[in-house]
Amino acid sequence: MINANLKNSYAADERVLNNTYKQMFVYGMMIVLALFTFFANDYMILIASQMGILLIAVVGINILTGYTGLVSLGHGAFVAIGAYSVTIFANLAEGIIPAGVMPFFAMPFAVALAALIGVLVGLPSLRVKGLYLAVATLAANFIVIFLIEEDLFQPWTGGMVGLTTHAPNFFGWVLDTKREMFGMIAVIGFLALLAAQNLIRTRIGRAFIAIRDRDYSAEILGISLLRYKLTSFALSAAYCGLAGALLAYFFARILPEQFELTLSLNLVAALIIGGMGRSMGPVFGVIIVVLVPELIKVLFSSAVGGSASAAQFRAPLQEIAFGLLLVLFLLKEPLGINQIVDRILRAANRWPFARG
Amino acid sequence: MLNIENLHLSFGGIKALQGINFEAREGEITGVIGPNGAGKTSLFNVISGFYAPGQGRVSFGGRDITTMSPDKRAALGVARTFQNIALFRGMTVLDNIKLGGHTRLQTNVWQALRYFGAAQREELELRREIEERVIDFLEIDHIRKFPITMLPYGLQKRVELGRALAMRPKVLLLDEPVAGMNREETADMARFILDVQEQFGTTILLVEHDMHMVMDICSHIVVLNFGQQIASGTPAEVSKDPAVIEAYLGAAA
Amino acid sequence: MGQFVQFAINGVMAGAIYALIAVGIVSVYKATKVVNFAHGYLIMFGAYFYFTFSVIIPNQPWAPEWLLSWQPDWLVAQKADLPMFSPMGAVLDWVSNLPRIVLGLTGALIANAIVGRIIERVLMRPLMGQSVFAMIMVTVGLISIMSGTASLIWTADAANVPFLSPSAPVKFEAFGTTIFLLGTDLVNMVLALLMFAAIVAFVKFTKGGIAIRATAEDQSTAYSMGISVPKVFSRAWVLASTTGAIAGAILATRNGISPSLGLFGFSVLAIVLMGGLDSYVGVLIAAMTVGVLEAMTQWKLGGSWAEIVPYVAVLIVLIWRPHGLMGQKEVERI
β-pair type (B55-60, B78-81): unpaired
Residue of C nearest to A260 (CA): C263
* CA quadruple A303, A305, A306, A312: dihedral sign: negative
Q: Which residue in C311, C316, C323 has the most chain A C-beta atoms within 10 A of its own C-beta, making it the best mutation to test that interface? A: C311
Shared-domain flag, residues A242 and A203: yes
The residue range of the domain holding A158 is 23-259
The chains found to touch C (3+ Cβ pairs under 8 angstroms) are A, B
How far apart CA A321 and CA A331 sit, in angstroms, is 15
* Interval B230-251: pLDDT, tens: 999 999 998 888 888 888 776 5
Shared domain check, A268 and A173: no
Considering the domain boundaries, does residue A237 fall inside one? yes
Residue in chain A lying closest to C119 (CA): A327
Close Cβ partners of C176 (under 8 Å, ≥ 6 residues apart): C1, C2
Q: From the list C148, C155, C334, which residue is nearest A319 (CB)? A: C148
Q: Do A146 and C307 touch (CB under 8 A)?
A: yes
B186 touches chain C (CB under 8 A): no
CA distance, residue A119 to nearest chain B CA (Å):
15
A189 and A107 assigned to the same domain: yes
- The answer as to whether A292 is a domain residue is yes
At which of A215, A244, A259 does a domain end?
A259
Q: Is the distance from CB of C2 to CB of C176 less than 8 angstroms? A: yes
Bridge partners (DSSP) listed for residue C178: C173
pLDDT tens digits, residue range A101-139? 999 999 999 999 999 999 988 887 777 777 888 888 999
Report the distance separating Cα C286 and Cα C139, nearest Å: 23
Measured CA to CA, the distance from residue B31 to residue B24 in angstroms comes to: 9
* Residue A45 Cα distances to A52, A192, A266, A300, B91, angstroms: 10, 20, 21, 22, 38
In the stretch 133-172 of chain A, residues with CB closer than 8 A to chain B read: none
- Cross-strand partners of B79: B172
- Clarify whether residues A246 and A274 are in a common domain: no
For residue A260, which of C257, C21, C139, C259 has the smallest C-alpha distance?
Answer: C259
The full length of chain A comes to: 356
How far C121 CA sits from the closest chain A CA (Å)? 13
- All residues of chain A having their beta carbon less than 8 Å from the beta carbon of residue C310 are 139
- Report d(CA B150, CA A225) in Å as an integer: 28
Amino acid making up residue A307: S
More confidently predicted of A95 and A84 = A84
Q: Is residue A15 part of a domain?
A: no
Averaged pLDDT for residues A190-205:
94
Distance from chain centroid for Cα C250: 8
Phi, psi of B222 (to 5 degrees): -115, 135
Strands (E) across B145-219 are located at 171-175, 203-207
B242 Cβ contact partners less than 8 Å away, ≥ 6 residues apart: none
* Chains with at least 3 CB pairs less than 8 angstroms from chain A: B, C
**Structural domain includes residue A326:** yes
pTM of the model: 0.91
CA distance B5 to B65: 12
> CA of C333, closest CA in chain B: separation in Å?
10
Interval A20-76: pLDDT, tens = 878 888 999 999 999 999 999 999 999 999 999 999 999 999 999 999 999 999 999
- Round to whole Å and give the CA distance between A283 and A293: 17
Interchain pair A203, B112: CB under 8 A? yes
Cis check for the bond before C72: say yes or no (omega within 30 of 0).
Answer: no
User: B interface mutation test: which of A221, A227, A232, A335 has the most B CBs within 10 A?
Assistant: A221
Beta strand C169-174 with B63-64 is: unpaired
A274 in the same domain as A129: no
Report how far residue B150's alpha carbon sits from residue C281's, in angstroms, rounded to the nearest whole number.
Answer: 46
Cross-chain Cβ contact B103/A231 below 8 Å: no
Residues with Cβ within 8 Å of A160's Cβ and at least 6 positions away in sequence, in order, are A149, A255, A256
User: 3-state class of A313 per DSSP?
Assistant: coil
Instruction: Clarify whether residues A239 and A306 are in a common domain.
Output: no
What is the CB neighbour count within 10 angstroms for residue A96? 8
From residue A282, alpha-carbon distances to A327, B100, B183 in Å are 17, 29, 47
| CA count, 13 A, side-chain hemisphere, A65 | 33
Phi first, then psi: what are they for A111, rounded to 5°?
-65, -45
Residue A243 lies in a domain: yes
Q: Report the alpha-carbon distance of residue B219 to residue B195 in Å, rounded.
A: 15
pLDDT at residue C158, rounded to an integer: 65
Kindly list the residues from chain C whose CB atom is less than 8 angstroms away from the CB atom of residue A142.
266, 307-308, 311
Residue B25, C-beta contacts closer than 8 angstroms, at least 6 positions apart: B1, B203, B219, B220
For residue A214, the chain B residue with the least C-alpha distance is B88
Residues 6+ apart with CB under 8 A from C217: none
| Contact call for A124 and C318, based on CB within 8 A | yes
Q: CA-to-CA distance for B165 and B48, rounded, in angstroms? A: 16
Residue of chain A nearest C274, judged by CA positions = A132
Phi first, then psi: give them for residue B68, nearest 5 degrees.
Answer: -80, 145
Give me chain A's average pLDDT, please.
90
Q: C2-320 domain in CATH 1.10.3470?
A: yes
What does the pLDDT read at residue C333?
A: 56
d(C-alpha A97, C-alpha B129), whole Å: 50
Contacts with B74 from chain A: Cβ below 8 Å:
219-223
CA distances from B128 to A9, B133, B162 (A): 10, 8, 14
The CA distance from A14 to the nearest CA of chain B, in Å, is 8
pLDDT at A1: 44
Note down pLDDT in tens along chain B; length 253 residues: 899 999 999 888 888 899 999 999 999 999 999 888 888 989 999 999 989 999 999 999 889 999 999 989 998 999 999 988 889 988 999 999 999 999 888 889 999 999 888 899 999 999 999 999 999 999 999 998 899 999 999 899 999 999 999 999 999 999 999 988 888 999 999 999 999 999 999 999 999 888 888 989 999 999 999 889 999 999 999 888 888 888 877 654 4
Of A232, A259, A286, the one marking the end of a domain is A259
Using CA atoms, how far apart are residues B139 and B131, in angstroms rounded to an integer? 10
In chain C, where the domains are located: 2-320
User: Do residue A218 and residue A272 come from a single domain?
Assistant: no
Claim to verify: residue A201 and residue A279 sit in the same structural domain: no
Give contacts of C304 with chain A, Cβ < 8 Å: 146, 149-151
Which of A259, A274, A298 is the C-terminal boundary of a domain? A259
- Looking at the complex, report in whole angstroms how far the Cα of residue B191 sits from the nearest Cα belonging to chain A: 24
Residues A46 and A190 both lie in one domain: yes
In a domain, A232, yes or no: yes
Dihedral (C-alpha) A346, A352, A355, A356: value to the nearest 10 degrees?
Answer: 10
* Domain match, A231 and A276 both: no
Q: How many CB atoms lie within 10 A of CB C284?
A: 24
**Position A7 in a domain:** no
With an 8 Å Cβ cutoff, is A198 touching chain B? yes
Q: What residue in A sits closest to B160 (Cα-Cα)?
A: A217
C234 min Cα distance to partner chain B (Å): 33
Q: What is the pLDDT along chain C (334 residues), one digit of tens a residue?
A: 778 888 888 899 999 999 999 999 998 888 888 889 999 999 999 999 999 998 888 888 887 878 777 878 787 777 777 776 677 777 888 888 888 889 999 999 999 999 999 999 998 888 877 787 888 899 999 999 999 999 888 876 666 788 887 777 777 777 777 878 888 888 889 989 999 999 889 888 888 888 888 887 777 888 888 888 888 888 899 999 999 999 999 998 887 888 778 888 899 999 999 998 878 899 999 999 999 999 999 888 877 888 899 999 998 888 888 788 887 766 555 5
* Residue A5: closest CA among A261, A349, A251: A349
Answer yes or no: do A159 and A50 share one domain: yes
Burial class (CB in 10 A: 0-12, 13-18, 19+), B86: buried
Look at B29 and A350; give whichever has higher pLDDT.
Answer: B29
> What is the rounded distance in angstroms from the CA atom of residue B164 to the CA atom of residue B192?
13
Mean pLDDT of chain C, nearest integer: 86
The pLDDT tens digits of the residues spanning A217-263 come to 898 898 999 899 999 999 999 999 999 999 999 999 999 989 988 89
Q: Say how far apart CA A41 and CA A49 lie, in whole Å.
A: 12
Q: Could you tell me if residue A9 is inside a domain?
A: no
- The pLDDT of A293-317, averaged and rounded, is 80
Whether the CA torsion A160, A161, A166, A168 is positive or negative: it is positive
**Cα(A146)–Cα(C139) distance, rounded to whole angstroms?**
25
Give chain A's domain count. 2
